[in-house]
Amino acid sequence: MIRIVRIEVNGVEYYARAEGHGFHLLTAAPWAGGRDVGAVVGNGRLLAPVQPSKVVCVGSNYRAHAAEMGKATPDKPRLFLKPPSAIIGPGQPIEIPPETTRVDHEVELGVVIGKRCSRVCKEDALDYVYGYTVCNDVTARDFQKEDGLFARAKGFDSFLPVGPHVVTGLVPERLALGCDVNRKVRQMGNTTDMVFPVAELIAFMSNVMTLEPGDLILTGTPSGVGPLEAGDRVTVTVEGVGSMTNPVVDRSDR
């Protein structure tokens, strides 16, 4: 198992391999051909571990979540995109914009693509995965209902915490995931409840668009989504990957 992070050390950003109590610096992200430079640092500020060209998401992909939202289980993946500009790292604040009245958390398993992927079959799809991470698909629920679309509701800056690292070697079909707010459990689920498992999602998406190395796939959220308010601390966890905590604040123009 390899754990890849992106860190800031003395104002300079690096990809690195986390090992023991240190970080082995890389020339670039490993999915972009990065190599070990032979330098090890003891600490650094964790950043989001990915800088994708695109973030491809799927809605209503957990049976229990579809039910709680009053939606039928989909017969094919319902895709949407989040802008990479929404990404923040561990510890960075989720900012509630002034226009919205309800912002929800959504814990998700994130999939990081390892090599160029176009029109693959589900039997081969996992060969194109580099690793997995933890994501929080923050959503302005009132805008989602108002617009009937996801772009504004899910596209605000800071609406996609990702981290703390990318982990290789996991089997994605049976992973527990959850979310707590101020140490109170809000979401508990398992990827066994997915309507479309990771391999099926990659096959479906790659037949629509080419997935590039480093691209990020969000695979849906289990039931229990709920509101966030300024002053909250939200922690999202995926088994085998780890946990990530972000504070919640009002945006400065609120």
pLDDT higher than threshold 90 for residue 102: yes
Q: What is the mean pLDDT of the chain?
A: 96
Which secondary-structure segment (H or E) carries 147? helix 141-147
Hey, is 39 helix, strand or coil? strand
Reported pTM:
0.96
pLDDT band at residue 254, thresholds of 50, 70 and 90? low
The predicted model gives 148-163 an average pLDDT of 96
What band does 20 get if pLDDT is binned at 50, 70 and 90?
confident
Mean pLDDT of the region 50-69? 92
- Name the burial class of residue 64, with classes exposed (0-12), middle (13-18) and buried (19+) by CB atoms within 10 angstroms of its CB: middle
Question: How many Å apart are CA 194 and CA 186, to the nearest integer?
Answer: 18
In this prediction, residues 198-203 reach a mean pLDDT of 98
> What band does 106 get if pLDDT is binned at 50, 70 and 90?
very high
Domains in the chain with CATH codes: 3-47 (2.30.30), 55-250 (3.90.850.10)
**For range 90-106, the mean pLDDT:** 97
Cα–Cα distance measured from residue 162 to residue 165, given in angstroms and rounded to the nearest whole number:
8
Contact assessment for residue 140 and residue 222, using Cβ atoms and an 8 Å cutoff:
no
In this predicted structure, what is the pLDDT of residue 71? 80
pLDDT tens, residue by residue, 202-249: 999 999 999 999 999 999 999 999 999 999 999 999 999 999 999 999
Q: How far apart are CA 125 and CA 205, in angstroms?
A: 10
Asked whether the predicted pLDDT for residue 173 surpasses 90, the reply is yes
Average pLDDT over residues 139-167: 96
